[in-house]
Chain A
Amino acid sequence: MNVHSHSYDAVIIGAGGAGLRAAIEVAGKCRTAVITKLYPTRSHTGAAQGGMCAALANVEDDSWEWHLFDTIKGGDYLVDQPAAEIMCRGAIDAVIELEHYGLPFNRTPDGKIDQRRFGGHTRNHGEAPVRRACYSADRTGHMILQTLFQQCVARGVTFFNEYQVLDIAFEEGALGEKRVAAVVAYELATGDIHVFQTKACLFATGGFGKMFKVSSNAHTLTGDGPGLLYRRGVPLQDMEMFQFHPTGIYKLGILISEAARGEGGILRNAGMERFMERYAPTVKDLAPRDMVSRAIQTEINEGRGAGPNKDAVWLDLTHLPPEQIDAKLPDVTEFIRTYQGVEPKKEPSLIQPTAHYAMGGIPTNTDGEVVVDDTGTRKVLGLYAAGECACVSVHGANRLGTNSLLDIVVFGKRGGAAMAQYVATADMPPPETVRGVEEPVREQVSRLLSASGGEKVGDIRSRLQEEMQAKASVFRTGDSLRSCLATVRDLRQAYEKIAIDDKGSVFNYDLSEAMELGYLLDLAEALVVSGEARTESRGAHSRDDFPERDDANWMKHTLAYRGPDGEVTLSYKPVIGGAYQPMERKY
């Protein structure tokens, strides 16, 4: 195994929307490397569809303060309000900046950026749905990813494509304070190890939805960033808050954008009843995702599910003008045609909730700096995170649709800016802090290549996905989570005995998948333990045994630390409040 050494002022890990936006911000300010285990344009930002909200008021009255209220209420008051304010105020500049970068938004007849409705986004604090989402057909994420990549090409950003980052090394100060010294990556094309000595790094590695069986996430979304930091002592925040998007294609989980309902689509049960009228009388099908997913699951649980196994519901677009479908929803309707063999203009299609988005992740402040204690103040110098892998927390217990695209551009930029500023005054970590840091990765790779146990990566992953889907998804109980935890621990034991077939060094995805599974197992355990402890229902975390929100005891963020033997230890920090007091969440 060859080892190569590099030295950069800053390293960005992940090249989706957050990583690329951060790269644009630091480009020209310091020597930066962007490391991605894919090619940048393969990142899952490109799968985002519906839009990016900003109170431009291009088509009707709107204000960033209404957007802020919706975000906080949508997040079931677990949102840190100052962070959400930064995001919702900053949304307007962020959209304009993307337009200047060349993003091809859909336009109004008079040439302005067009806007449409989206779940949970309302006029004047919940009066009615508002047209706030700026969009480009139903491929807004694709356009954001392409546009940001184009801007990186224009700026000559240095990419290390198909390098999987596996470890981070810190320099420890006299008082126990830590600062970033290096990241260690595995080059997929050669099997070589690369040590990047660096003053700072920003993690933007995306989500980890592949721990569930039905998921909208890419195969590669395995939480490598949060996973490796967790192993190095960084806590994970609010892991129990995992969003199930209401409309995934039945069995496959492929995302059908909320824009389908924003354009007028209706959810119906087996009896073709528009059941959302019973759950959210005012906004109906455009209620926030956690509520719609629960409504769907309730319909299924109470015997009103549709489809061959009565475990789905219908998404009905048949009443929409065909030209509106072609212009506004071309991709998602094509997905329905391709994967379900149904013409959505003529027939409804079967959908079910799909594991979609991690609200939780690496705790950061509003400058993207990773904060590791329960006061939210102790930092690891030079360590940053942004996007889905991070938890600022702007999404609280349930993210509103479109706010993830907004999150990545706003906090990718802020994280990049803060990192560039830090790098300008920080010294390069001395060579002795970097010497030998590749050893744990070298050992890990050697161990996996020579392992001869009887367990297979694919088997363990399937069992994990089935267990998490059955016991830790839309509805949970203490019992289901404890049972899930026992299984996850068994699977971790089994993982110690895996063997892989590919012993080579060139594009050994067999090895790569084995390492990804290790992260999924660790993160699943953190999720389940965090969820078992939270004895209330809030946002995406819905406990049948504790159906009410409990503001007296649970207006706080969970922090999961990994103990020396791999066990999960929990701590908590308060939610940062603001102008909005918790109130009952009705739509």
Chain B
Amino acid sequence: MTAVLDAPTGSPVQLLTVHLRVKRYNPETDKRPHWQEFEVTAEPTDRVLDALHTAKWTIDGTLTFRRSCAHGVCGSDAMVINGANGLACTMLIQDVGTSISLEPIRGLPVIKDLVVDMEPFFAQYRSVLPYLINSDDPGYKERYQSPEDRERFDDTTKCILCACCTTSCPVYWGNSEYVGPAAIVNAHRFIFDSRDQAAEQRLDILNQRSGVWRCRTAFNCSECCPRGIKVTQAIEEVKRAILYDRV
């Protein structure tokens, strides 16, 4: 390229006043949750997580939430942001507005503020045999897999186990026995992997009362997945695999 591109020009940084409304609960002092407001300053391109950090680091250190990577790959900071599930680190102030309500994700027991008990979620994940099962000895070489076979399960390999999908599901809110979208996504990742030999076992697990048939295709899961996984489609593919006995 020889031509000089039109370089985007910078504009002076604009500061916004952001109103955070956080649903808070401290098990050591509170009988029930309550809302608290924080007013913080942020740039339009700041993340919701940045605003939360400003509140915690400059106003009230007791404000409690999980976070780690801060760019949408670790899945720690799933929360209900203005009524919908998402990661606080992938949502920018300019996109969600300056009046932001934050609640813990629903369907899992709240421990403190925005921190919920993740153990039931991981137990459901473990219940679908989320690992490659293949009893053939591949020898000291790689197994081959065609790009088409690899593509078959690509979408569901992206899951970061943030629980946005599962805790956005109305069925899950009402019935915590339901294995939930995230566990099905992780089953799908192996059921449709040409190298795996345990699809039948997983389909049996997901054919039980707590399995895929609880799904009422509300699509909340697909809409909120921060990784853009077509969660409902994955669930439908698993249902079809059970019905037609093939993957």
Contact = CB atoms under 8 A, between A and B. Distances in A.
A67 interface: no
A407 to B, nearest CB: 20
A252 to B, nearest CB: 8
A508 B26 CA distance: 11
Interface in B60-99: 60-62, 64-65, 67-76, 90, 92
B62 A501 contact: yes
Contacts of B111: 189, 506-507
Contacts of A42: 68-69, 74-76
A457 B196 contact: no
Contacts of A46: 69, 73-74, 160
Contacts of B57: 456-458
B130 A150 contact: yes
Nearest to B115: A507
Contacts of B27: 506
B219 interface: no
A252 B46 CA distance: 9
A111 to B, nearest CB: 3
B7 interface: yes
A385 B187 CA distance: 34
A500 interface: yes
Interface stretch (A100-108, A120-128, A367-375, A548-556): A100-108
Given A47-B74, A102-B193, A506-B28, A338 B90 contact: yes
A219 B131 contact: no
Q: Secondary structure of the B side of the interface?
A: loop
Nearest to A39: B118
B9 interface: yes
A135 interface: no
B146 interface: yes
A576 interface: no
Contacts of A107: 144-147, 150
B58 interface: yes
A143 B157 contact: yes
Contacts of B29: 504
A348 B5 contact: yes
A428 B144 CA distance: 45
A306 B132 CA distance: 47
Contacts of B113: 507
B126 A153 contact: yes
A502 B61 contact: yes
Given A42-B68, A218-B70, A153 B145 contact: no
Interface stretch (A81-89, A171-179, A295-303, A339-347): A339-347
B28 A505 contact: yes
A96 interface: yes
B1 interface: yes
Contact of B11 (A96, A189, A308): A308
B174 interface: no
B53 to A, nearest CB: 8
B142 A112 contact: yes
Contacts, number: 171
A321 interface: no
B143 interface: yes
Contacts of B159: 146
A342 B161 contact: no
Contacts of B140: 93, 96
Interface string B1-40: 1011101111100000000000000111100000000000
A41 B115 CA distance: 17
Interface residues on B, range: 35 or more
Nearest to A309: B10
Given A47-B73, A150-B131, A341-B45, A106 B150 contact: yes
Contacts of A501: 60-62
A173 to B, nearest CB: 39
Given A338-B90, A507-B115, A102 B11 contact: no
Most A CB contacts (10 A, CB to CB) among B67, B69, B140 go to B69
B141 interface: yes
B239 interface: no
B114 to A, nearest CB: 10
Contacts of B160: 41, 46, 142
Contacts of B28: 504-506
Contacts of A347: 5, 8
A44 B75 CA distance: 11
A101 B1 CA distance: 43
A314 interface: yes
Interface in B96-150: 111-113, 115, 118, 122, 126, 130-132, 138, 140-147, 150
A510 B198 CA distance: 45
Contact of A41 (B64, B150, B161): B161
A109 B68 contact: no
A110 B11 CA distance: 50
B48 to A, nearest CB: 12
B154 interface: yes
Given A42-B76, A104-B153, A146-B157, A99 B10 contact: no
A254 B49 CA distance: 14
A459 B55 CA distance: 13
Nearest to A38: B68
A151 interface: yes
B214 interface: no
Interface string A268-281: 00111000000000
A249 to B, nearest CB: 8
B230 interface: no
Contacts of B161: 39, 41
A318 B5 CA distance: 10
A585 interface: no
Contacts of B67: 219
B182 to A, nearest CB: 11
A448 B64 CA distance: 17
Given A39-B122, A41-B75, A501-B60, 4 more contacts: A38-B76, A348-B7, A458-B58, A502-B64
The 8 closest A-B pairs by CB, nearest first: A308-B10, A102-B132, A501-B61, A458-B57, A111-B144, A150-B131, A510-B61, A154-B131
Interface of A: 38-39, 41-44, 46-47, 56, 93, 95-96, 99-102, 104-113, 136, 139, 142-143, 146, 150-151, 153-154, 189, 218-220, 252, 254, 266, 270-272, 306-309, 314, 316, 318-319, 331, 335, 338-342, 347-348, 456-458, 500-502, 504-510
7 contacts: A136-B157, A146-B157, A218-B68, A266-B1, A306-B7, A339-B45, A339-B71
